[in-house]
């Protein structure tokens, strides 16, 4: 998208939606944000949570990273962008829900399964980041008879479950879950048809949402 198109888009937003929702915009600017959902989504340009879930500004706190992964809670000494987002959303904003939103045709998960794409410079960060989901990769490569898309789909879902487990390694998350103040959700968005499936906690299977 050329930069002038972005500027034209901002003009439309400024004179359109911003004006239509001026009261909301002024209130969230004045009073601060109070989202009750943290959504951890992929960087993928096709999966913008605010668009997919038709949300107003101020309602979703979003952390996006390659393949929507949550690392386990680890000590300081490195740069933990996603963990910082989780900490801020849970401990400061007091969100009541955390959603890990995966999606079909995820390039990050494809790289996890097949290795990173060839690049001019050696990839330094993506492969290491994807190591978080190594367990999901191994499990997705195990069942025989899946085609590439089915295997990727399985890996995307296994990675969501793994990220939910990793979320529970954060003491602030665990204590709030135990007190009933925080609820975790694993969702998977299908780019084809825009369908959504959600992880059923009892069966650990993804079930379609009617809509
Ligand atoms: Zn992705």
Q: Where are the domains of the chain?
A: 1-32, 34-208
How far apart are the CA of 198 and the centre of ligand 1, in A? Answer: 17
CB contact set of 97 (below 8 Å; sequence gap of 6+): 36, 37, 38, 182, 183, 184, 185
How far apart are the CA of 123 and the centre of ligand 1, in A? Answer: 17
Convert the pLDDT of each residue in 125-174 to its tens digit: 999 999 999 999 999 999 999 999 999 999 999 999 999 999 999 999 99
How far apart are the CA of 27 and the centre of ligand 1, in A? Answer: 33
How far apart are the CA of 107 and the centre of ligand 1, in A? Answer: 5
- Cα distance between residue 38 and residue 59, in whole Å: 9
How far apart are the CA of 17 and the centre of ligand 1, in A? Answer: 28
* 3-class secondary-structure state, position 45: coil
Helix pair 107-114, 148-167: axis angle to 10 deg = 100
How far apart are the CA of 10 and the centre of ligand 1, in A? Answer: 26
How far apart are the CA of 41 and the centre of ligand 1, in A? Answer: 8
How far apart are the CA of 199 and the centre of ligand 1, in A? Answer: 18
Q: Is the pLDDT of residue 53 over 90?
A: yes
How far apart are the CA of 181 and the centre of ligand 1, in A? Answer: 29
Convert the pLDDT of each residue in 94-112 to its tens digit: 999 999 999 999 999 999 9
How far apart are the CA of 24 and the centre of ligand 1, in A? Answer: 31
Cα dihedral sign, 91-95-96-98: negative
**What is the tally of helices (H) and strands (E) in the chain?**
10, 6
How far apart are the CA of 104 and the centre of ligand 1, in A? Answer: 7
Q: What are phi and psi of 182, to 5 degrees?
A: -140, 140
| Averaged confidence pLDDT in the chain | 96
pTM of the model: 0.96
Please, is 71 exposed, middle or buried when counting C-beta atoms within 10 Å of its C-beta (0-12, 13-18, 19+)? buried
What's the CATH code, domain 34-208?
3.40.1050.10
């Amino acid at each position: 998208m050329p930069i002038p198109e972005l500027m034209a888009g901002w003009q439309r937003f400024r004179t359109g939606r911003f004006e239509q929702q001026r009261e909301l915009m002024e209130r969230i600017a004045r009073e601060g944000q109070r989202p009750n959902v943290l959504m951890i989504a992929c960087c993928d340009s096709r999966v913008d949570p605010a668009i997919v879930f038709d949300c107003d500004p101020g309602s979703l706190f979003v952390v996006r990273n390659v393949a929507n992964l949550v690392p386990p809670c680890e000590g300081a000494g490195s740069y933990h962008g996603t963990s910082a987002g989780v900490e801020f959303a849970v401990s400061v904003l007091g969100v009541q829900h955390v959603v890990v939103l995966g999606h079909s045709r995820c390039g990050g998960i494809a790289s996890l399964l097949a290795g990173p794409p060839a690049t001019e410079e050696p990839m330094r960060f993506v492969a290491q980041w994807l190591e978080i989901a190594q367990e999901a990769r191994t499990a997705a490569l195990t069942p025989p008879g899946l085609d590439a898309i089915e295997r990727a789909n399985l890996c995307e879902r296994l990675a969501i479950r793994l990220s939910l487990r990793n979320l529970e390694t954060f003491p602030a998350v665990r204590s709030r879950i135990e007190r009933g103040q925080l609820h975790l959700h694993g969702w998977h968005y299908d780019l084809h048809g825009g369908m959504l499936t959600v992880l059923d906690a009892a069966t650990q299977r993804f079930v379609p949402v009617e809509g």
